[in-house]
Amino acid sequence: MNETTALAALRTAGVVAVLRAPTADQAVRAVDALVAGGITGVEITYSTPDAAEVIREVDRRHGAAVHLGAGTVTTAHQAKEAVDAGARFLVSPGTDPSLADAMLDTGAAVFLGALTPSEVMTAVRLGTHAVKIFPASLVGPGYLKSLRGPFPDVPFMPTGGVNAGNLGTWLDSGAVAVGAGGELCSASAMAAARWDEIEDTARQFADAFARATTEAKS
């Protein structure tokens, strides 16, 4: 996938729900609730049981309506398996040269994880389509804004510590999109089958993203 196509899809989604579900069924049900609330970016992590089967089922249910990917990708096998199941982007928590090559070989969009300037440079050199700043909760929007100084053309997706209240600040600081985990779809809500709660939180995130993008254009 070329960079333009990969970034267009990521920018359109705006918010990527990072799912670490207790069970495969709960992951699928959570995606249904997220979509109902207006979130279209979904990352099924490999810490979710039967992650590839979840990806396959979500793709069957929602198709192109969901920008679907796999997260916590740490092996070449996972990268291929996820894309074969329907993932259109792959996310790794860090940056490893051999893994990056395997992820890119699948043809999917690739988002490598980084935190320091040196790691950002390595991820860019290896061909990442965007850099996942992780764990963003440790550094905050001000850190991302500082990174934009030496890296003005690098697309960043902070993940961790993003909520509906600070989402706009992250975008103002230079993020092309954000990844949200427990703040958007918590493991406890999934385990307790609180689908209405997940849908409501998704709507708050979707509304915050819509407000931020509207303000940016005005």
What are the pLDDT digits (tens) for 139-157?
999 999 999 999 999 999 9
Per-residue confidence at 81, pLDDT binned at 50, 70, 90? very high
CA–CA separation, 61 and 130 (whole Å): 27
Q: Of 187, 185, 218, whose CA–CA distance to 15 is shortest? A: 185
The reported pLDDT for the residue numbered 214 is 86
Specify the DSSP class assigned to residue 24: H
Strands 156-158 and 130-133: parallel
> Is the C-alpha dihedral spanning 211, 167, 213, 178 positive or negative?
negative
Report the Cα 89 to chain-centroid distance in Å.
Answer: 9
Can 81 be counted among the known catalytic residues?
no
Note the CATH number of domain 3-217: 3.20.20.70
**Residue 135, preceding bond cis, omega within 30 degrees?**
yes
Asked if pLDDT for residue 44 goes beyond 80, the answer is yes
Query: Choosing from 43, 81, 183, 199, which is the catalytic residue?
Result: 43
Per-residue confidence at 2, pLDDT binned at 50, 70, 90? low
Sheet holding 15-19, edge to edge: 156-158, 130-133, 109-114, 89-91, 67-71, 41-45, 15-19, 178-180
Looking at per-residue confidence, does 214 or 114 come out higher? 114
Asked if pLDDT for residue 218 goes beyond 90, the answer is no
Q: Of 188, 162, 207, 201, whose CA–CA distance to 34 is shortest? A: 201
The reported pLDDT for the residue numbered 1 is 72
Asked if pLDDT for residue 209 goes beyond 90, the answer is yes
Query: Choosing from 57, 81, 132, 183, which is the catalytic residue?
Result: 132
> What residues contact residue 80 under an 8 Å CB cut-off, 6+ apart?
102, 106
Mean pLDDT of 194-210: 98
Question: Average pLDDT over the chain, rounded to whole?
Answer: 96
Per-residue confidence at 92, pLDDT binned at 50, 70, 90? very high
Per-residue confidence at 6, pLDDT binned at 50, 70, 90? confident
Residues in the chain: 218
Q: E strands, the chain, where?
A: 15-19, 41-45, 67-71, 89-91, 109-114, 130-133, 156-158, 178-180
Q: Taking the domains of the chain in order of start, what are their residue ranges?
A: 3-217
Mean pLDDT of 117-125: 98
Can 3 be counted among the known catalytic residues?
no
